[in-house]
Amino acid sequence: MMLSVQDLRVAFARERGAPVEVVHGISFDLEKGETLGIVGESGSGKSVLSLATMGLLPRTARTSGKILLEGEDILTLPEKRMCALRGRKIGMIFQEPMTALNPAMRVGDQIAEGLILHKGLSKSAARAEALRLLNMVQIPRASERIDSFPHEMSGGQRQRVGIAIALALQPELLIADEPTTALDVTVQAEVLDILDDLVTDLGISLILISHDLGVIGRIADRTLVMYRGDPIEQGETARVLRAPSHDYTRKLISAMPRRVRNSLQGVQHG
């Protein structure tokens, strides 16, 4: 088992009064090579859950339950050990690649940086690896683009660079928080397909977080639906889409464009 979250609760301390609980007892398991989609509206606790998994909750957070990463409980690990896991075992892909990338540094150098720092690669070996990664995320003319600055690339290409950076240290678990929300719909599909292929090829486990069930439905094996901090439904994505057991899930499904809904539910249409 890659990740096992067991009855996770997160509350935030306030200056006055009792802490406010925002995640109310979430449990799920994630196998190696599996993609779990977490869907829910704004404020449902998706980001708090992903920060908890990265060991990045603010000091005001109070937690209970367990987040076992290959058996080690992230909630009780010393910061030093957590730092070692972050990046190495767990990679993160962010919503807006422009804010995650350094605008003043060539993309190849940004990918190489982690390899030199954490893996002890020489400059030239790191550059060669950066080029391999850029090809892997299907950046066209990668040998030229390696020397581009982020602003010289399209949004979709920047997000691919973000994926390359996350993959550089060969993590076993990737967390992608709204990775395509900032992109055009056609580019969204491309980036999701690349992510899906990589996860399959490399045998990585992926947590894909989105408010959009259309995004989740495209690549997630299993889906967890969250509503105001509660896990209200969880199961195989195909089952959740075809036979949702909760009204809120039905609402999310009917909010999708019909064409997307039909294709995800496997409905034939002309």
Ligand X SMILES: Nc1ncnc2c1ncn2[C@@H]1O[C@H](COP(=O)(O)OP(=O)(O)OP(=O)(O)O)[C@@H](O)[C@H]1O
Binding residues vs ligand X (CB under 6 A): 12, 22, 40, 42-48, 58, 60, 211
Q: How far is the CB of 175 from ligand X (least distance, A)?
A: 12
Strand ranges (DSSP E) for the chain? 3-12, 20-30, 35-39, 61-69, 72-73, 90-93, 173-177, 205-210, 222-227, 230-236
- Sequence-distant contacts of 76-84: CB under 8 A, at least 24 apart: 79/55, 82/55
Say if strands 35-39 and 20-30 run parallel, antiparallel, or are unpaired. unpaired
Task: Kindly tell me which of 172 and 178 has the beta carbon lying closer to ligand X.
Answer: 178
Maximum Cα interatomic distance, the chain, rounded to a whole number of Å: 59
Partners of 90 in beta bridges: 86, 173
Q: How far is the CB of 211 from ligand X (least distance, A)?
A: 5
Distance CA 163, CA 107 (A): 12
Task: Kindly tell me which of 24 and 89 has the beta carbon lying closer to ligand X.
Answer: 24
Q: Which single residue brings its beta carbon nearest to ligand X? A: 47
Task: Kindly tell me which of 46 and 160 has the beta carbon lying closer to ligand X.
Answer: 46
Task: Kindly tell me which of 58 and 266 has the beta carbon lying closer to ligand X.
Answer: 58
Q: How far is the CB of 45 from ligand X (least distance, A)?
A: 4
Q: Which two tokens stand for residue 39?
A: 């869907």
Q: Which two tokens stand for residue 132?
A: 């391999």
Task: Kindly tell me which of 60 and 254 has the beta carbon lying closer to ligand X.
Answer: 60
- DSSP string across 144-179: HHTT--GGGS-HHHHHHHHHHHHHHT--SEEEEEST
Q: How far is the CB of 162 from ligand X (least distance, A)?
A: 17
Distance CA 172, CA 162 (A): 16
Task: Kindly tell me which of 48 and 163 has the beta carbon lying closer to ligand X.
Answer: 48
Angle ∠(192,195,196) on CA atoms, nearest 5: 85
Q: How far is the CB of 58 from ligand X (least distance, A)?
A: 5
What amino acid is encoded at 214 in this protein?
G
Distance CA 155, CA 18 (A): 43
Task: Kindly tell me which of 192 and 198 has the beta carbon lying closer to ligand X.
Answer: 192
Q: How far is the CB of 40 from ligand X (least distance, A)?
A: 5
CB 179 within 8 A of CB 208: yes
Task: Kindly tell me which of 44 and 249 has the beta carbon lying closer to ligand X.
Answer: 44
Q: How far is the CB of 100 from ligand X (least distance, A)?
A: 15
Q: How far is the CB of 12 from ligand X (least distance, A)?
A: 4
